[in-house]
Amino acid sequence: MYFDFALMSSDQIQQLQMALHERRADEVPLVIRARPAPARLRGQHSQTLESMFCHIPGLYVVYPATLPTRKHAQSAIRDNNPILFVESQALYV
């Protein structure tokens, strides 16, 4: 579930988005959850690649910083747009 493995699926995510954009699909309810590496593994699995996913048209990237915003961002499940939900391990309580 480390975020630097998301590059392996980035081509599929981008192809999905491009196909949906060409077909002008209005609703694509998709939530992809990921988390960056914890502080103890900073040397290994320490990439933060969310900026690369910000360049995929139609894909929302959500990265909550505090627990209240994380709870608010969980409304992504009810959204009809594709969302990449990046959760910090520090927010797991």
Q: How far apart are CA 12 and CA 17, in angstroms?
A: 9
CATH topology of domain 3-17+26-91: Rossmann fold (3.40.50)
Q: Is the pTM of this model over 0.75?
A: no
Strand order in the sheet with 60-62: 30-34, 82-86, 60-62
Q: Which residues pair with 61 in a beta bridge?
A: 84
Torsion over CA of 63, 47, 36 and 90, rounded to 10 degrees? -90
Question: pLDDT tens digits for the chain (93 residues)?
Answer: 667 777 788 788 777 777 776 776 667 778 888 877 665 655 555 566 778 888 887 788 888 888 888 777 777 778 887 888 888 777 766
Domain ranges of the chain: 3-17+26-91
